[in-house]
Chain A
Amino acid sequence: MDFPFMVQTLPRLVAPLGLTIGVSLVSLLLATILGVVLGLLRVICPVNNPLGWLIDGYVELVRGTPIIIQIYAVHFLLPPLLGSKLPLFWEGVCALTLNSVGYQIEIVRAAVQSIPQGQWEAARSIGMTNRIILCRILLPQAARQMIPPLTNELSNLVKASSVLSVVALFELHKAGSSIASSSFKFVEMLALQAILYFALIQTLSWGTGYLEHHVFRYGRKPSSFGTEAWGIRA
């Protein structure tokens, strides 16, 4: 392994890494907003309601098809639909968002449904409407439950962004591959990408761990398992 080459190449990967972070975080933000809205709609949707079928169908579609096909689908189907071509960055955001929403709907649904029935009943008994119950009682509690699966989803999203290289978005993987094919240092470039993805995801999951154990604690003692793993003091 040519370590000096790896160190020398690092600066050339900064901008592509930035693009990877940008496309992932913007997608995550949009997908979380859509996922929360659709997930909550799914929870309050009566059985056998067409809206429920639509949401379920979407989830199955996303789960049942490979991300690479979803990316190509956005690449080839979106321009004729919109009548113009999106910038590559936003095309990537669209593909990743559409993919991630499918998973996040299920994350939100599962988290809200895991809140004990007694919380609904207590909220109803003081005259809260469904909207207040969802926004003020269930969602704040579900938020904490959602963090671990959302961290999974975040890491999947960051890694899935590497597939955007197939539509020539110059993100980390595309940049790494192009340097590799011009310098023939394939192993070095793959190792370097692995290190950068790993470091990025570690940083992000440290952040979500902080959210889980500090922001959404609600007076619970942090479990020693979780805090020690994150190196966080109570």
Chain B
Amino acid sequence: MVANKNREQDPPAQKPSPEPGLPWLRIEHLHKFYGSLAAVIDVNLQVNRGQQVVIVGASGSGKSTLLRCINYLETPSRGQIWLDGDPIGQHPIQTASGMVWQADTPNQLARKRRQIGMVFQGFNLFAHLNALDNIAIGPHRVLGRPQAQCREQARALLAKVHLDRHADHYPSQLSGGEQQRVAIARALAMDPKLILFDEPTSALDPRLTHEVLQVMQELAEEGLTMVVVTHEIHFARRFADWVVYMEQGQIVETGAAGDVLNRPQQAQTQRFLSYVMG
């Protein structure tokens, strides 16, 4: 998937694939409370390797919080997340009284987060680095690879998101669509097992939105596992294998994209889609 194949691998990437049939990403009984407010309630979700899952729902329905819980930018209040057989945010330890779960230390968490890319609504490119180094800094500083090699890889990734001529540009010199494509390349540079997209086009006009969605479509065709929160329903219909509709922190309806978006079964989903489709 990434240009340079014969570089050293992360320990996690060397692990054998899970037994066939086991989902790549597994979310079990996930809850997130802010004081008395329940943002996410008992979410269960499974994503297979190479699948694209789109989460839709109104603002405040908990879909972004769910996404941010997957890589522990928000710490879930309850529940478990597994990626490729690896529990995220906690690990089992053996004690005298049996096996118990212990929260990951910040460094353990950082190590697990390398496997999960994230693309944000506000791009969040590093303002002091040009496009090339925004992409190269992850492999260089986190994985400890030589800088020249990381920049070479970054150049290939820039070409992949159709920005080969913008390597020297700083974020402040790029359009929103360009920034978001650099942000996608930055996530790809870590060769993640999964990329989370949190409303990647909500800050963009229709033309720039198109640029970004096109890149996401290309990545999907290459078999990248993606979980996307978006309001672009037409895009979701083309792009997603699986669609999740959320309301008030709960999954209301989930199924194949064609089923949920064209023939929603639940009244809440029908109502929401009627607003979006006009």
**A residues with CB within 8 A of B:** 116, 118-119, 121-130, 132, 136-137, 140-141, 144, 216, 218-220
Contacts and interface: CB of A to CB of B under 8 A. Distances in A.
Interface in B100-153: 106-107, 110-118, 120, 122-130, 137-138, 141-142
B120 A219 contact: no
A126 B170 contact: no
B59 interface: no
Contacts of A219: 130, 169-173
Nearest to A144: B128
B73 interface: yes
A128 B142 contact: yes
B202 to A, nearest CB: 14
B114 to A, nearest CB: 3
Nearest to B190: A126
A130 B106 contact: yes
Which of A122, A136, A144, A218 has the most CB atoms of chain B within a 10 A radius of its CB?
A122
A127 B172 contact: no
A129 B110 contact: yes
Interface residues of B, number: 37
Q: Which of A119, A125, A136, A140 has the most B CB atoms < 10 Å from its CB?
A: A125
A137 B190 CA distance: 17
Nearest to B10: A127
A201 B126 CA distance: 33
Interface class of chain A by DSSP:
helix
A127 B186 CA distance: 12
B142 A127 contact: yes
Contacts of B141: 128, 132, 136
Contacts of B173: 219
Contacts of B187: 125-126
Contacts of B170: 218-220
B71 interface: yes
Contacts of A122: 118, 120, 124-126, 183, 186
Nearest to B112: A127
Nearest to A117: B124
For B112, B113, B123, the residue with the greatest tally of chain A CB atoms inside 10 Å of its CB is: B113
Across the A-B interface, give the 10 residue pairs with the lowest CB-CB distance, nearest first. Answer: A219-B170, A127-B114, A118-B124, A125-B118, A122-B124, A126-B138, A127-B113, A140-B128, A129-B110, A218-B128
B230 to A, nearest CB: 18
B111 to A, nearest CB: 7
Nearest to B116: A125
Contacts of B107: 129
B127 A218 contact: yes
30 contacts: A119-B124, A121-B73, A122-B118, A122-B186, A125-B71, A125-B117, A125-B118, A125-B120, A126-B113, A126-B114, A126-B186, A126-B187, A127-B110, A127-B111, A127-B112, A127-B113, A127-B114, A127-B115, A128-B141, A129-B106, A129-B107, A136-B141, A141-B127, A141-B128, A218-B127, A218-B128, A218-B129, A218-B172, A219-B171, A219-B173
A124 B73 contact: yes
A128 B115 CA distance: 12
A132 B106 CA distance: 12
Contacts of A132: 141-142
A137 B169 CA distance: 17
A219 B170 CA distance: 5
A127 B138 contact: yes
Contacts of A216: 128
Interface string B169-181: 1111100000000
B226 to A, nearest CB: 14
B129 to A, nearest CB: 8
A194 B66 CA distance: 62
Contacts of A125: 71, 73, 113, 116-118, 120, 187
B10 to A, nearest CB: 10
Contacts of B116: 125
A144 B170 CA distance: 15
Contacts of A121: 73, 118, 120, 124
Q: Which of B117, B141, B190 has the most CB of A within 10 A?
A: B141
